[in-house]
Amino acid sequence: MARKLGGRKTTVIVGLVGLLLTVLGGVMIFVVPQLIRDQILQNVRVNPSSLSFDMWKEIPVPFYMSVYLFHVMNSDEVLNGEKPSIQERGPYVYREYRQKRNITFNDNDTVSFLEYRTFVFQPEMSHGLETDYIVMPNLLVLASSVMMEQRPMSMKLLMSLSFSMFGQRAFMNRTVGEILWGYRDPLIDLLNKYFPNMLPFKDKFGLFSEFNNSDSGLFTVFTGVKDFSKIHLVDKWNGKSKLNFWNSDQCNMINGTSGQMWAPFMTPEYNLQFYSPEACRSLSFEYEKSGDFEGIPTYRFVAPNTLFANGSVYPPNEGFCPCLKSGIQNMSSCQLSAPLFLSHPHFYNADPELVESVIGLHPNKEEHSLFLEVHPVTGIPMNCSVKLQLSLYTKAVPGIGQTGRIQPVVLPLLWFEERGAMEGQTLKSFYNRLVLMPKLAQYFQYVLNALGCLFIIITLILIIKNQETFFLFWSSNKKVSKNSEAIQSYSESLMTPAPNGTVLQEARL
């Protein structure tokens, strides 16, 4: 009897444990994803208490800028009307440091900041030195000549005379460091002295002279603390909620984020956007495919073919015109009317005529397309490569002898790649917190469900076995009871006196 009670007690305990594990596992299926979601929402907001705040404030990911310059091989022939022949030089690689300063939290759920950038040359990663000489178009001559094309002939002759006095030519032979970060010139000193606000630079003239040790403008973005739907979106740039560079309201819109983080819980339908002060516009990227970076799931976003298309090919871009060929964006409206154009490197995805007008260009997707790989759950970029090319539209301008007989051409000056990938301790910490731990929690709930089901099955087996044991015990007891009754009846019959004559009859028999 004690053994029977012990078996029943074990069955009840096993059944309760199985039921408890199953319920706990079932609850975790619904609770764990919500807990993970709440933690992510809490930690991607722009708030000093969030885990991502330090990453947002000073990006721990090493960023590099690789610059490729186009060396003009036949500058004298170009002046005589021949097609330019160029040779790509580089890369000249710079480590890019970014740090947000003057961080101010506002009452309307926004934060304002200035992001400063510093570039340090990396000779061991470069193919060449900053002291390398490159023959390039002289922007002071060729850009200003096109800008003066519609001015009176007297002004153009005066400009040509000024160029001659200061020894300015259509092409210059300068070092990489001078071209990028600036050089002093007597003509620039003269213009800054007598026309102090005419040029956007004060001491040196260089393509990137305004980038180093400077900020990219005052950004005001939503923190997502009060209204999560607006997290990281740009509210204003330099105090403006829209631009005034372009010819349509759509093109002047400031869309997306500041380009460092996006809203979490992305889907493939997500339209990834960010505002680029260097491009003077918002850039949009579309989903290409899912993948992973060092074990972390990612969505890969790429530029659509219409990013730099002109208005005739893609009507929404009409506001960026006046346009030339499709595939290049006119930057003159935000670059002091200078005839500069932005595009993909080597005119990738542009009108083939642009490639054919210059010797030495070889566009291809692998080398010249750009992409962003973002962790869709958090909206944090894991690996990115943004590539852009700067070109100059130039031609012969009557009255300015320095332009010779140059045929109208969009001449590439340089292209650059800004790239960064999460690595080291930052990558390990990100993987452990946002990939490994949620996976372990997910696996744990499945283990609980499996164990719960196993214990319930064991309980059922024990119940069945107990029933069989009880049946056998009952059957055995029934047989014993019957035998006992038969023996008792026989004994009683022996003890009962026989009627008269019965013994004699039995004896006779």
Look at residue 508 in the predicted model and tell me its pLDDT.
43
Q: Please indicate, yes or no, if residue 42 is contained in any of the structural domains.
A: yes
Same domain? For 241 and 201 the reply is: yes
Look at residue 15 in the predicted model and tell me its pLDDT.
64
Q: Is 360 left (phi over 0), alpha (psi -120 to 50) or beta?
A: left
The pLDDT-based confidence of 423 (bands split at 50, 70, 90) is: confident
Which pair of tokens denotes residue 433? 């917190």
pLDDT tens digits for range 320-335: 988 889 999 999 988 8
Other beta carbons within 10 Å of 132: 18
Same domain? For 248 and 390 the reply is: yes
Cβ 328 vs Cβ 308: under 8 Å: yes
Same domain? For 40 and 159 the reply is: no
Look at residue 394 in the predicted model and tell me its pLDDT.
96
Same domain? For 459 and 316 the reply is: no
Specify the 3-state DSSP secondary structure of 149.
coil
Element housing 94 (H / E): strand 86-105
HEC profile for 221-274?
EECCCCCHHHCCEEEEECCECECCCCCCCCCCECCCECCCCCCCCCCCCCCEEE
The pLDDT-based confidence of 59 (bands split at 50, 70, 90) is: confident
Number of domains in the chain: 2
Q: Is the pLDDT of residue 340 over 90?
A: yes
Which pair of tokens denotes residue 22? 């199953």
Q: How far is CA 83 from CA 99, 361, 403, in A?
A: 44, 13, 14
Q: Which residue has the higher pLDDT, 218 or 15?
A: 218
Look at residue 378 in the predicted model and tell me its pLDDT.
87
Range of the domain at 245: 62-422
In 3D, which of 2, 5, 12, 1 has the Cα closest to residue 462?
Answer: 12
Q: Which residue has the higher pLDDT, 486 or 129?
A: 129
Q: Is the pLDDT of residue 383 over 80?
A: yes
Q: Which of 358, 389, 422 is the last residue of a domain?
A: 422
Q: Please indicate, yes or no, if residue 482 is contained in any of the structural domains.
A: no
Taken as a whole, the chain contains a residue count of: 509
Q: Which residue has the higher pLDDT, 360 or 17?
A: 360
Q: Please indicate, yes or no, if residue 497 is contained in any of the structural domains.
A: no
DSSP state of 103: E
Same domain? For 113 and 74 the reply is: yes
Same domain? For 199 and 315 the reply is: yes
Q: Which residue has the higher pLDDT, 495 or 370?
A: 370
Look at residue 55 in the predicted model and tell me its pLDDT.
80
**Distance (Å, rounded) from C-alpha 437 to C-alpha 441?**
6
Same domain? For 315 and 455 the reply is: no
Q: Which residue has the higher pLDDT, 193 or 310?
A: 310
**Distance (Å, rounded) from C-alpha 217 to C-alpha 220?**
10
Same domain? For 418 and 461 the reply is: no
**Distance (Å, rounded) from C-alpha 273 to C-alpha 45?**
18
Of 199-213, 333-347, 421-435, 450-464, the one with minimum mean pLDDT is 450-464
Task: For residues 462-468, give the mean pLDDT.
Answer: 67
Q: Give the mean pLDDT of the chain.
A: 85
Of 206-215, 391-400, 470-479, the one with minimum mean pLDDT is 470-479
Please report, as a single letter, which amino acid is at residue 236. Answer: K
Cα-Cα end-to-end distance for the chain: 52
Q: Please indicate, yes or no, if residue 160 is contained in any of the structural domains.
A: yes
**Distance (Å, rounded) from C-alpha 111 to C-alpha 103?**
7
**Distance (Å, rounded) from C-alpha 364 to C-alpha 384?**
18
Task: For residues 295-312, give the mean pLDDT.
Answer: 93
Q: Which residue has the higher pLDDT, 423 or 84?
A: 84
**Distance (Å, rounded) from C-alpha 134 to C-alpha 176?**
7
pLDDT tens digits for range 34-58: 777 777 777 788 888 877 788 888 8
State the virtual CA torsion across 333, 337, 339, 344 in degrees, nearest 10: -30
pLDDT tens digits for range 163-192: 999 999 999 999 999 999 999 888 888 777
Q: Is the pLDDT of residue 263 over 70?
A: yes
pLDDT tens digits for range 69-88: 999 999 999 999 999 999 99
DSSP 451-501: HHHHHHHHHHHHHHHHHHHHHHHHHHHHHHHHHHHHHHHHHHHHHSPPPTT
Q: Which residue has the higher pLDDT, 380 or 495?
A: 380
Look at residue 187 in the predicted model and tell me its pLDDT.
81
DSSP state of 8: H
Could you tell me how far CA 311 lies from the centroid of its own chain? 28
Cβ 390 vs Cβ 279: under 8 Å: no
DSSP state of 134: E
**Distance (Å, rounded) from C-alpha 504 to C-alpha 498?**
11
Q: Which residue has the higher pLDDT, 24 or 73?
A: 73
Q: Is the pLDDT of residue 232 over 70?
A: yes
Q: Is 465 left (phi over 0), alpha (psi -120 to 50) or beta?
A: alpha
Same domain? For 134 and 27 the reply is: no
Please provide residue 103's backbone torsions phi and psi, each rounded to the nearest 5 degrees.
-75, 120
Tracing tokens 């519609």 back to the chain, one arrives at: 150
Q: Please indicate, yes or no, if residue 494 is contained in any of the structural domains.
A: no
Please provide residue 66's backbone torsions phi and psi, each rounded to the nearest 5 degrees.
-105, 125
Look at residue 373 in the predicted model and tell me its pLDDT.
96
Q: Please indicate, yes or no, if residue 471 is contained in any of the structural domains.
A: no
Same domain? For 270 and 190 the reply is: yes
Look at residue 116 in the predicted model and tell me its pLDDT.
92
